[in-house]
A and B are shown apart, each in its own frame.
Chain A
């Protein structure tokens, strides 16, 4: 496998698994990876943790950096927030994330 590529799984809102490959050397975040595969992630604010449209649940026990205060604030305005909720735009694609599995959170109307 290419050193700079990790694989990850995204479960969409219908419960279907999508195996994705993502480069670790392009400063991408998980929201952008989902969008590049045309998964239904809006990313309305472009990745500033300002809209919560990329809300997801982390299903594996990968160690992620703690959510910033901005991210927590935005999660306050999201729905169906769980302990494993994150904004995928705040999850940087790195080697440590290889094998991570996330599920897209339901979207409001």
Chain B
């Protein structure tokens, strides 16, 4: 069981910076994120894009900002549970919550700070009618164990690196691999594109471009995918598995069921301290909403800063908090 003072859900820029502000008040933090690396959207969506509105940085790449934040919070030795989604929260005592992740990791803390941004990144699901019926019964959004496709007929859809890489890899394992893509060109790495083209030439992969999956047929288990093609109209492909690989998109996920007040996928907070109304639970950054809310990293930094002041008073109601500038007091990290 991991124990900490502030459990931060979401290791994006706001969650990371909150570790620093909490550390100045001698509060320890542990971060949980569904993505395998810290940085949230900045690392996952736009690491190479410049950001121009971080005070003091005329321009900084999103990935660099994450690296800098990691360096800045290092003295405060934050804990990380990455690649696991925050699933459930239960109250286990006076001023004590227990969070359980998708992999069963449990973390206890008196304060929870939700810095979940847009939510958890999950595979994009094609809006094909009845697709839910076939999930795990032929439709797979994630490839966990390629060996299960041995001897199977597969239809992979998508045009990015993961679609190309899996097509190449699975062409050796599966009985038959068809790759469909909406255009004739691919955005994936050039050598992967060439490899797929070669496999198609050698008839090891059935490549159908300018095509999209529009329907699924089966009887409890997936049997066919209906593909709309530019050249031949609608064709029906008999398959064992349909594997749509269309990248990740954020979903609010289980947080929606935690009894917080939610308006348009955002958590309503009090702007005095970004508290949610549930004692000990706060929400900062893109995931919260209040009159005048702006989804900016710099606003999230401010929110996290005020939030830890309130968290300190909540955890230590009898202690006086004297505010000190870092320039005066320095940054005194934790030993371990």
Q: Tell whether B183 is near chain A: CB-to-CB under 8 Å.
A: yes
Q: Please name all residues of chain B whose beta carbon is closer than 8 Å to the beta carbon of A50 when the two chains form the complex.
A: 45-46
CB–CB B246/A79 < 8 A: yes
Stretch at the interface among A3-11, A24-32, A58-66, A70-78: A70-78
User: Looking at chain B, what size class is its interface with the partner chain?
Assistant: 20 to 34
**B-side interface residues toward A, CB under 8 Å?**
45-46, 49, 118, 124-128, 132, 158-160, 181-183, 187, 212, 214, 246-247, 249-250, 295
Q: Tell whether A108 is near chain B: CB-to-CB under 8 Å.
A: yes
In whole Å, how far is A89's beta carbon from the nearest beta carbon of chain B?
14
CB–CB B249/A51 < 8 A: yes
Nearest A residue (CB) for B163: A76
**Bound Cα distance A45, B248 (Å):** 13
In whole Å, how far is A22's beta carbon from the nearest beta carbon of chain B?
22
Q: Please name all residues of chain A whose beta carbon is closer than 8 Å to the beta carbon of B127 when the two chains form the complex.
A: 79-80, 106-109
Q: How many A-B residue pairs have CB under 8 A?
A: 55
**A-side interface residues toward B, CB under 8 Å?**
44-46, 48, 50-51, 53, 69, 72-73, 75-81, 106-109
**Residue B249 contacts which of A44, A46, A69, A72 (CB distance < 8 angstroms)?**
A44
Beyond known contacts A44-B249, A72-B187, A108-B249: 9 more, CB 8 A cutoff = A50-B45, A72-B183, A76-B182, A76-B187, A79-B246, A81-B212, A107-B127, A108-B125, A109-B127
Nearest A residue (CB) for B185: A72
25 of the cross-chain contacts (CB-CB < 8 Å) are: A44-B118, A44-B249, A44-B250, A45-B46, A48-B49, A51-B249, A53-B249, A69-B187, A72-B183, A73-B160, A76-B158, A76-B183, A77-B160, A77-B247, A79-B124, A79-B127, A79-B128, A79-B246, A80-B127, A80-B214, A106-B127, A108-B126, A108-B249, A109-B125, A109-B127
